Chains A and B, each alone.
Chain A
Amino acid sequence: MSSSTSVRTDAPAVVLTGITKRFPGVVANSDVHLTVRTGEVHALCGENGAGKSTLMKILYGMQPPDEGTIEVNGEQVRFKTPADAIKAGIGMVHQHFMLADNLTVQENVVLGAEALHGIGAKARRKIQELAGQTGLNVDPGVLVEQLGVADRQRVEILKVLFRGAKVIILDEPTAVLVPQEVDELFATVRGMQEQGFTFLFISHKLDEVRAIADSVTVIRRGTTVGTADPKTVSSRQLAEMMVGSELPSPETRTSTVTDIPVLTVSGLVLSAPDGRALLDSIDLVVHSGEVVGIAGVEGNGQTELVETVMGMRKASAGTVTLGDDDLSKLGTLARREAGIGYIAEDRHRHGLLLTQPLWFNRILGYQTRKPTAKGAWLDREGAKRDTERIVEEFDVRTPGIDVPAAALSGGNQQKLVVGRELAGDPKLLIASHPTRGVDVGAQALIWDEIKNARARGLAVLLISADLDELIGLSDTIKVMLRGRLVADADPSTVTPEDLGSAMTGAGSTSAAVHEEGEN
């Protein structure tokens, strides 16, 4: 915002042209264009899974692009390893710190770069010289384990400076910081910017982007959709760029909501090991035939809410009831048996056994029930028959049910998961980002299936970062912020930007959003 113009030149520091990266079954980046001018703070925005991380890994030499070129300071380069990128003056500060707690600041900084300034007094002088620029005011001899999160982040920045970086990639740097620390970080960034450093700032938080960036490039579904000046563009425009507007509409306006409560959550509390409340007295009711959407910036407790309702995390207080059954004391399997279907937010980590065949995956979560089990024995034939049915009904594109799940594309994997979780007539479906990372066709099909199930009386708890999806599918939207449900929104009237400002805690700007307790 208040960026100085003295050092900025028009020679671009980094130019990415036509970058394309394919992974088996999915295109992570396609025809990405990005120009970062020297001395600016350039934000790269996009939803999770939009392809930001892949792009940064390519720029940092961790993965080679399949197509496209990288230019640094006007010269075309080809990075085989991060070491090449570091040599070209590009440094990366990862979201998850890569520090050895039991070593000192100096040792952490020097580790792996001993050749530059040695490991003794010379290195120490260099570190002290650079430390000021990062705002790090501790002795280099202090152990990293004694530092707080913000200081650790400065040590990470110090590490890349020590290696001579001029272009610094900050990967979601604010995710781990509290608001005051975010302000300090931004001050540091601006200070360094004055000295000629260039920043590539990765984030999906629009307010932060607008606060710090000189220009912003939006990436959606693997490709860059445009670059804008954050001072002139509105949040609404940015949000539209991020979520897109060409999507098939998830709209459903015939209400099927009944007054039969299916899921009742009351007073649910989940505490982190350090005593912090990850979930703070959550009260929530989902009725039969109702889709309740949870909106929120990622990391505000949505994952924890879902996993606590599923019994994968142990609640510190509160009750979860399904129909008339109190589930609070039950394990995950018993909750599933009681009638909950669960589409996990990360199908690779939570939804599928990737090297196992499709029919084997059909059994997961249903190992005690028909048609996949009979008592202590598996019913392999039943599982295979039902997998055939899912493949047919949900249009899973596969040559057969014996191929490993990993061989399918993301969309087809997700269709299999959705088919499985809707099998056996659940009373409640918990759908966490059900269409993340899938192609448009699969997305439309999954939306249709959720709508159909809702019409049959299914209760759905929907978590999504895709605001259009959320608004289109939900009968009720609740906004989640720092582990609490802070506002309700009416999906028939609310706009993505209203929702966006409610999600960041900026307060309601629309009649469609009601602060909790207001009505």
Chain B
Amino acid sequence: MGKLRGNLLPPALAIVFSALLCGLALVLSGANPLKAFGAMVNQVGEGSTAVDIINSTGIYYIAALAVAIGFQMNLFNIGVEGQYRIAAVVAAIFGGSVALPPGIHSLAIIIVAAVAGAAWAAIPAILKVTRGVNEVISTIMMNGIALGVAAYLIRRDVFGELRGNNIRTPEIAESGWVPGIPLGDNGTLFGLVFLAIALGVGYWVMMNRTRFGFELRASGESATAAAAGGVNAKKMILVSMLLSGAIAGLVSMPEILGRDHTYNLNFPGGIGFSGIAIALLGRNHPAGIAFGALLWAFLDKSGLALDNVGVPREIVTIMQGTIVLSVVVAYEVVRRFELASEQRRVGRELASAGGAA
């Protein structure tokens, strides 16, 4: 009821607000916003767009979960970007250079990716715990280093091989692939989209049912109260960063094991940053994040249709930006309002019960 309203109202307001804003921008630039939004909606039925949206939702979902784990205790892991890239290249190299039975091969690649992501996240985590280095700074720098390391690892004289003008890691043998669900001309649903769902369920259980999740939430809510309650802050930082990095490491698995079978120059960037926005949008709640990821993927994929109707596709980026901005503002406004009304409600109920508050 009230709680649901507090959780759903802000994003709904934010989306409406940013749609209006973008509509206004379109009108000002001389385009017809209804035509533009119509083209975006129609695009969902075109070709493989619907499936692409689902696939992309899964990928964004994993990235946003990785970010959300850090957010739960006010750790700003901007390094998801670098963590998933390192994990992708390491896992692709590993997968392409070992021969294992089907199933085990895929599983081994996924584990290697998680470990590689966690290892990359361990560096800023250790720096923070031992030296107090701010994780925002260190993870940003690790992102830059990740790019360089990945570029180095796929050099022809290291692990890379040349394909035309592209350069890529050795292709993973079929035993390492994770088959998707082919839907004919509508594309193929990545098998690992289900991994994203499993991660979401696992995340929910962890946050709500386990001691670790409790300690994580307590640390995020009040570091001082958590300390007085016996939560070891350094341990929490270390564990949550590693966990965040491990999940970040899985971001590229659906694409690599489901379609590309290699890490190459076309490897998509920026998913980690989108993950930050989606985690904000979804308020770190597994269902909220799913919704945010879906929205993000829809805007991304159906935005391609805008070129067709002569509307600059950048409008999608503007929309994504305004949604995040306005959702943050809206949550804060609603939160204050709800807290005040809750206090009034408690006061009223107690007063009518005859007690003094």
Which positions in A face B, CB cutoff 8 Å?
Answer: 24-25, 310, 312, 331-337, 342, 344, 349-356, 360, 363-365, 367-368, 373, 375-378, 380, 397-399, 403-404, 406-409, 412, 439, 441
Question: Which A residues are CB-close (under 8 A) to B35?
Answer: none
Interface pairs (16), CB distance under 8 Å: A333-B229, A349-B224, A350-B224, A350-B228, A351-B225, A353-B221, A354-B221, A354-B222, A360-B214, A364-B229, A365-B229, A376-B211, A399-B350, A404-B342, A407-B345, A407-B346
Question: Which A residues are CB-close (under 8 A) to B347?
Answer: 24-25
Question: Which B residues are CB-close (under 8 A) to A332?
Answer: 227-232
Indicate whether A399 sits within 8 Å of B210 (C-beta atoms), given known contacts A24-B340, A367-B229.
Answer: no
* A333-B225 in contact (CB<8A): no
Whole-angstrom distance between the Cβ of B219 and the nearest chain A Cβ: 10
For B228, give its contact among A344, A407, A441 (CB under 8 Å).
A344
For A408, give its contact among B217, B221, B225, B346 (CB under 8 Å).
B346
A378-B208, A378-B213, A407-B346 given; name 8 further pairs at CB < 8 Å: A332-B228, A352-B225, A365-B228, A380-B209, A397-B350, A398-B350, A404-B339, A407-B345
Q: Does any Cβ of A come within 8 Å of B212's Cβ?
A: yes
Main secondary structure of the interface of B (DSSP, over half): helix
Report how far A367 CA is from B347 CA in the complex, Å. 30
For B232, give its contact among A25, A310, A333, A351 (CB under 8 Å).
A333
For B230, give its contact among A333, A355, A412, A441 (CB under 8 Å).
A333
Report how far A406 CA is from B222 CA in the complex, Å. 13
Q: Produce 1/0 per residue, B196-229, CB < 8 A to A.
A: 0000000000001111111101100110111111
* A336-B343 in contact (CB<8A): no
* B357-A336 in contact (CB<8A): no
Report how far A331 CA is from B232 CA in the complex, Å. 8
* A25-B225 in contact (CB<8A): no
Question: Which A residues are CB-close (under 8 A) to B211?
Answer: 367-368, 373, 375-378
Report how far A136 CA is from B341 CA in the complex, Å. 50
Indicate whether A353 sits within 8 Å of B230 (C-beta atoms), given known contacts A24-B340, A373-B211.
Answer: no
* A398-B346 in contact (CB<8A): yes
Tell me the residues in window 264-315 of chain B with beta carbons closer than 8 Å to chain A beta carbons: none
* B209-A378 in contact (CB<8A): yes
For A310, give its contact among B212, B224, B228, B356 (CB under 8 Å).
B228
* A397-B339 in contact (CB<8A): no
For B345, give its contact among A344, A368, A399 (CB under 8 Å).
A399
For B218, give its contact among A24, A364, A368, A403 (CB under 8 Å).
A364
Question: Which A residues are CB-close (under 8 A) to B224?
Answer: 349-350
For B209, give its contact among A310, A360, A377 (CB under 8 Å).
A377
Tell me the residues in window 224-259 of chain B with beta carbons closer than 8 Å to chain A beta carbons: 224-232
Closest to A333 in B: B230
Indicate whether A403 sits within 8 Å of B222 (C-beta atoms), given known contacts A376-B211, A441-B356.
Answer: no
For A397, give its contact among B221, B228, B345, B357 (CB under 8 Å).
B357
Closest to A375 in B: B211
Question: Which A residues are CB-close (under 8 A) to B30?
Answer: none
Q: Does any Cβ of A come within 8 Å of B355's Cβ?
A: yes
* A24-B343 in contact (CB<8A): yes
Whole-angstrom distance between the Cβ of B170 and the nearest chain A Cβ: 40
* B230-A439 in contact (CB<8A): no
Report how far A349 CA is from B221 CA in the complex, Å. 10
Report how far A352 CA is from B221 CA in the complex, Å. 10
* B221-A407 in contact (CB<8A): no
Q: Does any Cβ of A come within 8 Å of B349's Cβ?
A: yes
* B346-A403 in contact (CB<8A): yes
* A355-B346 in contact (CB<8A): no
For A409, give its contact among B225, B226, B349, B357 (CB under 8 Å).
B357
Closest to A353 in B: B221
Question: Which A residues are CB-close (under 8 A) to B227?
Answer: 312, 332, 350
